Amino acid sequence: MFTGIIEELGRVVDFQPQETGARITISCSTILQDAAVGASIAVNGACVTAVALSADRFSADLAPETLKRTNLGALRPGAPVNLERPLRANSRLDGHFVLGHVDGTAEVVALEPLGDDNWWLRIRVGRELMRYIVSKGSVAVDGISLTVAEIAEDVAGFTIIPHTYRHTALHARGPGSLVNIETDILAKQVEKLLRRA
């Protein structure tokens, strides 16, 4: 379980396709301070397992399902990635409940300056996921907990504050970029219960 509060901006060092999946290696420092082999780490919002660790990097194996549903398969050396360690039971919940189970990707329509280093992000979301997105609700976009500011048909809009723009991989995104989306688990659970009723 994560919160969508990005702890560190890492960089892809290596990406090796394998027969079934791939192995990704990411350079970082903060999230490795208490990490061990087998630790869960959110990379652009996708929960992966650290299978190798060193002082300044970790590697994770990416399953075919992960490559299909996320933007991780498009990453190449040098690409910035959002990193977060899992939530501890005794920690404050600053964002929202993020499972690290990415539902799919969305296309960046625009990332435009609003002034004072604030930005306006608009993403095009598929209809199958848009039904779980509500105005003023929370969505994890590349693992970042964001509040929905606007919905216009299949496009969701978010205000990006200076801190988020500077300390996440959003500054490297532009029109046409794919971002990972995880919608609110509560909406999916409610929908399932209502179907049964």
User: Active-site residue numbers?
Assistant: 2, 40, 47, 49, 63, 101, 147
CB 102 within 8 A of CB 143: no
CB within 8 A of 17, min separation 6: which ones?
none
Q: How many other C-beta atoms lie within 10 A of the C-beta of residue 20?
A: 10
CB 9 within 8 A of CB 29: no
Long-range contacts of 147-150 (CB under 8 A, 24+ apart): 150/122
Reduce the secondary structure of 78-145 to three states and give it as a string.
Answer: CCEEEEECCCCCCCCCCCCCECCCCCEEEEEEEEEEEECCEEEEEEECCHHHHCCCCCCCEEEECCEE
Strand 155-160 relative to strand 150-152, pairing: antiparallel
